[in-house]
Chains A and B, each alone.
Chain A
């Protein structure tokens, strides 16, 4: 018996009867929880008062009424309280549903249901009635919420060092940095945001937007708090209005409003189903209107690429317009989002349109007028908005570009064009000029050349100048606030059939308005380049030519267009004949491999280039250069996606103040130079101290390691090999052939 060391008996004792077994644990485990609450019970008021004889009929009728609205109940579910004294019912009844959800559905469906002319059903949860009956009747004054001033959304502009900010998005990580002198480039904020598609700044830099699965979120203020959200599921594209009052969102999925979705001014209602563009008020977060991008009568098999922005804003945020290609332009007023004058601009064949931007002066005047008050008509009238559109050639009608004033809808200027295959409208950012880039084809339609039709919008009768070019123009850009523009043209036969490894040869030309003759004259052509992108500094004067999206070339060229002349002389606009075009100077060249995006900072002092992982995966990262092409920062980072400078709003300084500053520039520069001097000294000492510390740490750690190692050796007591002693002597024989003479011996 010793074999069973566990000491248990060899047989199992059978219990006497089944009753002895304790099942309590199993019972506890499988006990059914009865729902004892009354959440599934609904009270119906407004039931006709009848006597017993009509009871069955009434119940049947009630059941029928309910099932008509999709709520099926049986007479058995109904309990009708009875007043035995009068022999009549009490005018209300209870209905039991299977669960709370069904009860809720019944309430939404049947509440305020007119049963007959005199009786209207009022449905309530049984639990609600109990709750409200027990309510405390005495009035409790609601606590006044403490007023907390909102954070200033433009606090970043008050940075004592006048730095700009930028956001970088890498992998799943977002960082917002300050950019200034080397010592001032610090992390401003590292948010922990839920996964999102991409980030975007609002046009004046007040908000930063993130696109999530469930909608758009706006963040801002010094603490980067959540400011607003717009529930547009699966949003893919967003567009801010120029004054940051409104937001347009787009999703490729049509809007679906599921049952039980929250309702309110901030949410989609069932009427919005099927649409995919939404317009929101940013301050209140309210939904203003939704549209569908798919025209109803369009052939779905011919899918054209959607234009974005699909809705174009007037520069003062008063109107938003969308074109229905070939038919009309519809202009909506804000904030009501109603169609202006209840009718669209019917324009046969319209392809595209652009609003004229407001100049700084226009804005100032508009602001002034607003402060004086709308009632007092102070002298000048606020100029109307303008928009330009074009229509292609149809049958015998020529193509046409039209300049239209809005809201008066008067046509200001029209220009007929022939042999047009495509037009593009480019406004100068102050609205002084409009350039229509017209791609024209020869009679045989085999080759394409380009005309630039330039409207001088500020002059009487809107004179039009034509610049004729032989090549195809691939990019066009106005100098901001200037009278110059740059174009990229190409006569490369490979143009139009892109392939791997093909880099298209281009020419870059600069043009300037000649005040004497009032036409645009060529300043300079830089031939045989690969540049395909023009990036003017937002302050004008400097321009960067970049080769973007090529796998073999990635050059950046930094040009200055006023290298010789002082700033002031250009302002007068008088350039002597002999040095026409001579002041253009190359400041520097640089290379950023695989560059996909090139962007100036809002001050026009720095340029950022980035290689985004969205386009390719080679050496993703970003670099910051100064306007001369000197590299300041370069970060190669895996999975780098986005680099965006934070935009700045228009300056708050008046013209006079700006002039004053320009006059005292020398004083300022002395202060700044002193600062820079101090700065570089502290940077150096800090760096040296930092390195000192690193070395000390390292040496301390090494000393500790060595000590430990020595101790360990000592413990082992093993004979330490002394490599110095058993040195080997090695003799090396080197044969060197100094001369080799072949002698022929003649016997």
Chain B
């Protein structure tokens, strides 16, 4: 099907996210705005205004009732998805780089930047879901500073109170948020900044992408590297396609060095790799800048990519995508 081009941002995309049902797509960008779109036709449902800086990250709960966002104006905000109202604002000394809901929607984890003498901090807030959501506790339920390299990405794992983090040094680690203790780590997961971390539907494994030009699948319990996908360009995002044995990787030459390269295609494409055989199976082009973020529909029927060029492209998969057996008749567990 023809891709749907979402032209609602004036600057580069930072993160995009589907809700649990997959009917809505949230996108945030450096132009301070968060947009929400209908997935099936690309119509814009609305915007969430109020942030005063680059919005780095968004996440939406499983009921599509609340949405959280983190921005460079040093705030973490809780929004009402339906009305677009900002329900609560937490302020920090530095920018918020990553937010994520827990599986039960009762907690939110956020990473704040290491800057101006402030250490990188990971905070967990309890979300009061009763009432209209405006009554929230100002204080975090748990807070700690990861020692060593700063954290760049994180997500809740299937086990309660345990988060998985990706770090600037390329480390991937497991933390107990209650104690702030590092349970396990893999120092050599990547050799450069971990740029994205997305969990599988059942949260038993996760995929990380990195500037070291590779993406890896890790077991979230043991942090063992299960699969490695090595490309020739720095990666900004990696996503897992449910129901099909593929992973989607996106990236491209650094934005600052793009002008020095000739206008050459091939760097700014979404790459489809076979999850098990670690082989590239296809590419989708379209963006004319690096791809910053990729998200796949929870049911695996479409995917979206957001680029440095300020566009979001939503691709609904054709029938052939579901029917083709690239490597013959093999049953691969999701």
Contacts and interface: CB of A to CB of B under 8 A. Distances in A.
A618 interface: yes
A593 interface: yes
Interface string B211-232: 0010000010100001000001
A589 interface: no
A699 interface: yes
B134 to A, nearest CB: 26
Given A701-B226, A708-B221, A695 B264 contact: no
Nearest to A619: B232
Interface residues of B, number: 26
Which DSSP category, helix, strand, loop or mixed, fits chain A's interface?
helix
A631 to B, nearest CB: 15
B332 A712 contact: no
Interface string A549-584: 001100000000000000000000000000000000
B79 interface: no
A688 B160 CA distance: 41
A618 B213 contact: no
A712 B264 CA distance: 50
B255 interface: no
B333 to A, nearest CB: 4
B43 interface: no
Interface in A679-714: 688, 691-692, 694-695, 698-699, 701-703, 705-706, 708-709, 712
A699 B275 CA distance: 12
A708 B222 CA distance: 12
B333 A699 contact: yes
A552 B263 CA distance: 9
A691 B204 contact: no
A705 B220 CA distance: 10
A702 B232 contact: no
Contact of A618 (B160, B261, B275, B328): B261
Contact of B332 (A501, A638, A698): A698
B277 A694 contact: yes
B156 to A, nearest CB: 14
A296 B334 CA distance: 76
B276 A551 contact: no
Given A695-B276, A712-B158, A705 B330 contact: no
Nearest to A728: B21
A636 B158 contact: no
A551 B205 CA distance: 41
Contact of A638 (B203, B213, B226): B213
Interface in B277-334: 277, 327-328, 330-334
A699 B331 contact: yes
A621 interface: yes
Contact of A695 (B226, B232, B266, B332): B332
A706 B204 contact: yes
Nearest to B261: A618
Contact of A705 (B204, B266, B275): B204
Contacts of B334: 702
A708 B159 CA distance: 11
Contacts of A619: 232
Contacts of B264: 593
Given A621-B232, A698-B276, A709 B330 contact: no
B27 to A, nearest CB: 22
Contacts of A702: 204, 333-334
B332 A699 contact: yes
Interface string A517-553: 0000000000000000000000000000000000110
B313 to A, nearest CB: 24
A705 B205 contact: yes
A702 B330 CA distance: 15
B262 interface: yes
A694 B333 CA distance: 12
B262 A703 contact: no
Contacts of B204: 702, 705-706, 708-709
A551 B262 contact: yes
Contacts of B327: 691
Contact of A552 (B202, B262, B330): B262
A705 B219 contact: yes
- Of the listed residues A694, A708, A712, the one surrounded by the most CB atoms of chain B closer than 10 A to its CB is A694
Contacts of B232: 619, 621, 636, 638
A376 B287 CA distance: 79
Interface in A707-740: 708-709, 712, 716
Contacts of A708: 204, 221
A706 B334 CA distance: 10
A206 B181 CA distance: 58
Contacts of A692: 330
Contacts of B261: 618
Interface in A271-295: none
A712 B204 CA distance: 12
A712 B331 CA distance: 26
A716 B159 CA distance: 10
A118 to B, nearest CB: 76
Contacts of A712: 158-159
Contacts of A638: 213, 232
A107 B313 CA distance: 84
B333 A703 contact: yes
Given A593-B264, A619-B232, A709-B158, A695 B202 contact: no
A635 to B, nearest CB: 10
A726 B229 CA distance: 38
Given A638-B213, A691-B327, A694-B276, A705 B226 contact: no
Contacts of B330: 691-692, 695
A53 B332 CA distance: 107
Nearest to A713: B158
A39 B245 CA distance: 75
B279 to A, nearest CB: 10
Nearest to A690: B277
B276 A709 contact: no
Contacts of A593: 264, 266
A554 to B, nearest CB: 10
Contacts of A552: 262
Nearest to A621: B232
Contacts of B205: 705
Interface string A567-607: 00000000000000000000000000100000000000000
Interface string A399-442: 00000000000000000000000000000000000000000000
B202 A705 contact: yes
A638 B211 CA distance: 13
B294 to A, nearest CB: 21
Contacts of B331: 695, 699
Contacts of B203: 709
Interface string B128-167: 0000000000000000000000000000001110000000
A638 B210 CA distance: 15
Contacts of A694: 276-277
Interface in A67-107: none
Contact of A709 (B202, B262, B333): B202
Contacts of B275: 698
B290 to A, nearest CB: 15
B331 to A, nearest CB: 7
Nearest to B23: A730
Interface of B: 158-160, 202-205, 213, 219, 221, 226, 232, 261-262, 264, 266, 275-277, 327-328, 330-334
Given A688-B328, A705-B202, A712-B159, 14 more contacts: A501-B262, A551-B262, A593-B266, A621-B232, A636-B232, A694-B277, A695-B332, A698-B333, A699-B331, A701-B226, A705-B221, A706-B333, A708-B204, A709-B204
Please name the 5 residue pairs, one residue from A and one from B, whose CB atoms are nearest each other, closest first. Answer: A702-B333, A705-B204, A636-B232, A698-B276, A699-B333
18 contacts: A593-B264, A618-B261, A636-B232, A638-B232, A688-B328, A692-B330, A695-B330, A698-B276, A698-B332, A698-B333, A699-B332, A701-B219, A702-B333, A705-B202, A705-B219, A708-B221, A709-B158, A712-B159
